[in-house]
Amino acid sequence: MLLILVLCILVIIISSAVVLQLLPSQNGEVSQSPKSPDAVSVQIVVLGDIGHSPRMQCHALSIARHGGRVFLIGYLNSTPSQELLEHPRISIVALPSPPAFLQVTNKLLFPVAAVVKALQQTWHLWAALAYHTEPAKWMLVQNPPAVPTIAVAQLVCRLRNTRLIIDWHNFGYSILALKLGTAHPMVRLMAWHEHSFSHFATAHFCVSNAMARVLCEQVKITNPPLVLHDRPPAVFHPILGEKERLAALSSLPETSTAAEDIIYGRCGLLVSSTSWTPDEDFSILLDALCQYSTLARSSNLSLPSLLVIITGKGPQKGMYLSQIAQLEAEGKLFNVSIKAAWLTFENYARLLACASLGVCLHTSSSGVDLPMKVVDMFGAGLPVIGWDRYEAWPELVTEGVTGMGFDSAERLVELLKRLLSGDGSDLKLLREGAIRESKHRWDGTWDPIAGKLLGLVT
């Protein structure tokens, strides 16, 4: 009996030692002077493509510029900004992308694939946050995706003595509801998870006043959210000179052959950035372009030809490209050319600065998020026409000043006709408004809110 008791005690001691060794180190175990530039360290978590997470890239650069240390955790499916890659105070920890076979569209298979994907992401995220990065004072998590990000982040923060900040871009359950419907059990489970685990965060950022209201009234978070409106990074800026715009258009393969026609108003250049997902109804734009084509063929309005460049990747891209090819074959896109493009950050910024109009098809799954693409367009001095049937739209676009809204294909074609025909005075006014809006920059918003919270700005 005594031998068994001794063996049990030894097993308990050894097991405890193993568990303690496996626990991640805590913030504060490595001595740091308060005056050290590394005294403020931040893990930034993007369970998505870092290259297409401009807001989180801006967070990372702002922290690093103020002397903080940044560990940026996420997927590297595309190239982030060059400044971020080269900054000595920013380290990127790349997560393995989920296997392609888990990207399913079948509603019956989706729940199974989603669970397997979440388990895979949980393991890789846990390893990255707990073992592949040093303990940090703060963890800044992008939401969505909420699963498994918020739960894993919360556990790591508890174990490593780290303070959690959730940066709310939207609500994950509202996006999932587009696919499965609001009554689906997975959507309800997602909403419960998102609401419950978010209560443990030290602080919250969000992208709109409307979202802050929802977080307080429906999610019932205890710490009032800090509204941190998106602002464009420095790469987006107006190009005002005619020669500079011509040179920029000539340098891009997508616009080089039409550069002079665009500059002299014979061709209108429309740009729309899309994720090709159900929350952006691309058929509205296609219907409007077909109606525009009919007007251009039959009316006396002297409408310019259109070059429409669509940027982005996503699940519905192939479907819509097939529809475009069919419309072209049927002659329904007379005087309209549509091109799909995948551009570098810098080339995309040049394209926006030289375009006639930006088009935003974002419909907002929650009604309170705001599309970053419009912010980038304003940064380049580009006026925007966009879907305006959601609560937060007026926070972003001032009607008749920086852009105009539509709620149907018919209204969209009316705007195209009004802004692109005649003497161009209406479009000129919108461009002037967008150029004024371009002066509002990220640093002016970030420093007094996020910088102060993190202790980087006094």
Distance CA 408, CA 342 (A): 27
Length reported for the chain: 458
Answer yes or no: is 83 within a domain.
Answer: yes
Q: Give buried/exposed letters for 146-175 (b at 16+ CB in 10 A, else e).
A: bbbbbbbbbbbbeebebbbbbbbbbbbbbb
C-beta of residue 338 within 8 angstroms of C-beta of residue 345: no
The pLDDT, as a whole number, for residue 28 is: 57
Q: Is residue 157, in this structure, part of any structural domain at all?
A: yes
In a domain, 19, yes or no: no
Could you tell me if 68 and 127 lie in one domain?
yes
Tell me: do 431 and 448 sit in the same domain: no
Comparing C-alpha atoms, which of 383, 331, 391, 325 is closest to residue 357? 383
Helix (H) or strand (E) holding 453: helix 452-454
Element (H or E) spanning 105, and its range? none
At 224 the three-state DSSP class reads coil
What pLDDT, on a 0 to 100 scale, did the predictor assign at position 99? 85
Provide the domain limits for residue 259: 242-440
The closest alpha carbon to 242, from 262, 218, 219, belongs to 262
In a domain, 264, yes or no: yes
| Euclidean distance between CA atoms 241 and 250, whole angstroms | 14
CA 38 from chain center: how many Å?
A: 28
Q: Rounded to whole angstroms, what are the CA distances from 2 to 5, 16, 110?
A: 5, 21, 55
Q: Are residues 175 and 82 in the same domain?
A: yes
- Is the domain of 94 the same as that of 201? yes
Q: Which amino acid is at 413?
A: V
The answer to the question of residue 54 being in a domain is: yes
Same domain, 292 and 226: no
Do the beta carbons of residue 307 and residue 255 sit within 8 Å?
Answer: yes
Assigned domain for 1 exists = no
**Lookup: tokens for 337:** 């050319």
Q: Residues with Cβ < 8 Å from 133, sequence gap 6 or more?
A: 43, 71, 73, 91, 93
DSSP state of 368: S
Same domain flag for 249 and 165: no
Domain membership of residue 24 (yes or no) is no
Residues 413 and 448 in one domain: no
CA-CA-CA-CA torsion sign (222, 231, 235, 404): positive
Specify whether 69 is located in the same domain as 215: yes
State residue 124 phi and psi, 5-degree precision. Answer: -65, -40
Q: What is the DSSP string of 274-343?
A: ---STTB-HHHHHHHHHHHHHHHHH-SS-PPEEEEEEE---TTHHHHHHHHHHHHHTT-STTEEEEEE--
Looking at the structure, tell me whether residues 272 and 205 fall in a common domain: no
Does residue 161 sit in the same domain as residue 67? Answer: yes
Inter-residue contact 399 to 242 (CB < 8 Å): no
Structural domain includes residue 433:
yes
- Distances from the Cα of 38 to the Cα of 27, 31, 63, 70, 87, angstroms: 12, 10, 11, 9, 14
Assign residue 60 the CATH number of its domain. 3.40.50.2000
pLDDT (tens place) for every residue of the chain, 458 residues total: 333 333 333 332 233 333 334 556 666 544 443 344 457 999 999 999 998 898 999 999 999 999 999 999 999 998 898 899 999 999 999 999 988 878 777 777 888 888 899 999 999 999 999 999 999 999 999 999 999 999 999 999 999 999 999 999 999 999 999 888 999 999 999 999 999 999 999 999 999 999 999 999 999 998 899 999 999 988 899 999 999 999 999 999 999 999 999 999 999 999 999 888 888 889 999 999 999 999 998 877 789 999 999 998 888 899 999 999 999 999 999 999 999 998 888 899 999 999 999 999 999 999 999 999 999 999 999 999 999 999 999 999 999 999 999 999 999 999 999 999 888 899 999 999 999 999 999 999 999 999 999 999 98
**pLDDT score recorded for residue 26:** 61
Same domain? For 142 and 68 the reply is yes
The DSSP secondary-structure symbol of 95 reads: P
Determine how many CB atoms are found less than 10 A away from the CB of residue 427: 19
Look at residues 406, 300, 363 and name the one whose alpha carbon lies nearest to residue 416.
Answer: 406
The DSSP symbol for 360 reads: E
- 266 and 179, same structural domain? no
Q: Would you state the pLDDT for residue 323?
A: 95
Backbone angles phi, psi at 437, to 5 degrees: -65, -30
What is the C-alpha separation between 352 and 441, in angstroms, rounded? 17
Structural domain count of the chain:
2
